[in-house]
Amino acid sequence: MPPVPETATPADTAEWAAIATVLARGDDRGRLLEILLEVRDAKGGIGISQAGLLALAERLRLFPSEAYEVATAFPAVNYAATTPYAADGCGDLVCGLLHGALGAGVCRNRCDGPRPEPVPRSFAAYRAAGGYGQLGRIMADPGAAAQMLERLSVHQAVGRAGVGFPVAEKWRQVIAAGGTPVVIVNGDEGELAIFKDRFILENDPHGVIEAALVAARVIGADQVFLYVRDDYVPIHAILRQALMEVAGAGLAEGLALELRRSGGAFICGEETALIASLEGRPARPVERPPFPTACGYLGRPTLLHNVETFYRVTAAWGGTLGSPASALLDPEVRLFSVSGRVCAPGPKPMRGLLRLADLVEIAGGMQDGHALGGMVIGGSAGALVSAADCYRPLADLLDEGLRLGTGGAIVFGATDEPRAIAARMAAYLARESCGQCGPCRIGTAHASRALAAPGPLDQHLLEDLAAVMGEASLCALGRNAGRFLGRLSIPGRGVSA
């Protein structure tokens, strides 16, 4: 780095010292986001300054514009801030229901009730229950990899990010692509009112790690990333300890294991945007094909699943019981994230859910003074389901096109205004759009303004926006936002005027 100028203030000198310390741990351009987050941490939550960013760009041999794009693309970097970064300022739908007037915070769905300090299943306890046995068999017998793929096929393991793509087929696509693949565990979990991955990592991190290591052995990968939300601070410590234990036991021989943090951008739920952030670039989706299974991280075949998908993979070889998350080893159990106007919000594993209203009962019932008004199902671009529909058979709702997505259920009361709820959802989508394509960037902003404006809804505008965004957006954020608006613009349903 350039020498500290003689005119530097004590704050400048402290920042440059922090940058130097962070860079000593690695100055790979691909770590740019992590470096920025580490500098923020070293400065007590205050993000890197403009002068510091220029010095960092010079050291990493980047154009200043490249470093600036990344620093400003991720809220958690807290670029050029004068106050420490705080991820607990309430500014989204659940907090709005519970606390009324909304600020401009970025907590994003942490309102699932007070939680004790997590007590994860230890490495010793996991191994005593048979953990890492399947990994050991694959390491000892190369032929066990093919058997593992067959087990996944027979078990009918599917992705748990909402699409339900067969896991075995995805692994086979990576193998067929050739080269040396990469494995990524997506624990970013930025969707509105979703906290199922946090539940798994807090309780049984070694189940996720073993599945990722098994996947790496089966597909021939040499690198595994665990990509976790920046504000899941307790989980960072849990995972760092777990990775040290795994490496110390010789279970990761020949594999590079690395924990990386996300930067608070919802768009990183899209796998190509996530990969871009791991490469030190702004989180922007790219056209597909090629798919990441053929050309992903640094052009290499890449296997990417979310935390729940990896954890459920262990059921294909029997899994290991002994953790609250072990209920998920039953393929018929679905994990719901229930929040809003219920007495006991939180992650709720359920087997054979018959009606959405049953989620209210398992979450302790409605809060005093509130009757069920309905639910938001499926996240920020999900569906507003009326109270009457919540009591109908869930199978009928699914036949009519309802999508459960990643299992989010935000319960609202009879006195809560559905249109105001829809406006908050639209505002979230507009804020989280990466801005790369016009249909999403412009459409989400128009939708947010239209839903927040007084007076009757402009149904024709919503229908036009739904059509354009649903068909022309680059990635799933814009397309799902279009479907969300399409449901709202149907007379007699949702929040129509």
- CATH number for position 295: 3.40.50.11540
Strands 182-187 and 302-306: parallel
- Do 481 and 359 lie in one domain? The reply is yes
Residue 41 tokens, joined: 């941490």
Inter-residue long-range contacts of 478-483, CB under 8 Å, 24+ positions, other chains counted: 478/433, 478/437, 478/439, 478/440, 478/443, 478/444, 480/381, 481/381, 481/426, 481/429, 481/440, 481/443, 481/444, 481/447, 482/439, 482/443, 483/381
Question: Which residues constitute the domain of residue 136?
Answer: 123-328
Instruction: Output the pLDDT for position 86.
Output: 75
pLDDT reported for residue 471? 92
Flag whether pLDDT at 458 surpasses 90.
Answer: no
16 and 155 in a common domain: no
Edge to edge, what strands does the sheet with 346-351 contain? Answer: 346-351, 333-340, 408-413, 372-377, 383-386
Q: Are residues 262 and 316 in the same domain?
A: yes
> 488 falls in which pLDDT band (50, 70, 90)?
confident
Whether 98 is covered by a domain: the verdict is no
Q: Which of 296, 328, 360 is the last residue of a domain?
A: 328
Instruction: Determine the Cα–Cα distance for residues 328 and 446; give it in Å rounded to an integer.
Output: 40
Q: Which of 300, 328, 356 is the last residue of a domain?
A: 328
**Diameter over CA atoms, the chain:** 72
Model confidence band, residue 94 (pLDDT cutoffs 50, 70, 90): confident
Shared domain for 303 and 361, answered yes or no, is no
The total number of structural domains that make up the chain: 3
The stretch 157-171 carries a mean pLDDT of 88
- With tokens 């739920």, the residue in question is 269
Q: What's residue 231's pLDDT?
A: 87
Both 352 and 306 in a single domain? no
User: To the nearest 10°, the Cα dihedral for 453, 459, 464, 467?
Assistant: 110
Q: Are residues 158 and 64 in the same domain?
A: no
Q: Which two tokens stand for residue 23?
A: 């860079």
User: Tokens 């005093």 sit at which residue?
Assistant: 368
290, 342: one domain: no
Q: Are residues 323 and 237 in the same domain?
A: yes
Give the tens place of pLDDT for each residue, 219-272.
Answer: 999 999 999 999 899 999 999 999 999 999 999 999 999 999 999 888 998 999
CATH of residue 418: 3.10.20.600
| pLDDT at position 71 over 70 | yes
Residue 135 has pLDDT above 80, yes or no: yes
Query: Which pLDDT tens digit goes with each residue over 138-162?
Result: 999 988 999 999 999 999 989 888 7
Report the C-alpha dihedral over residues 420, 423, 424, 427, rounded to 10 degrees. -160
Strand partners, 304: 184
Taking 50 as the threshold, does the pLDDT of residue 301 lie above it? yes
Q: Residues 39, 59: one domain?
A: yes
Q: Are 374 and 477 in the same domain? A: yes
Within this chain, do residues 234 and 284 fall inside the same structural domain, yes or no?
yes
**Helix H or strand E segment including 82:** none
SS3 of residue 490 by DSSP: coil
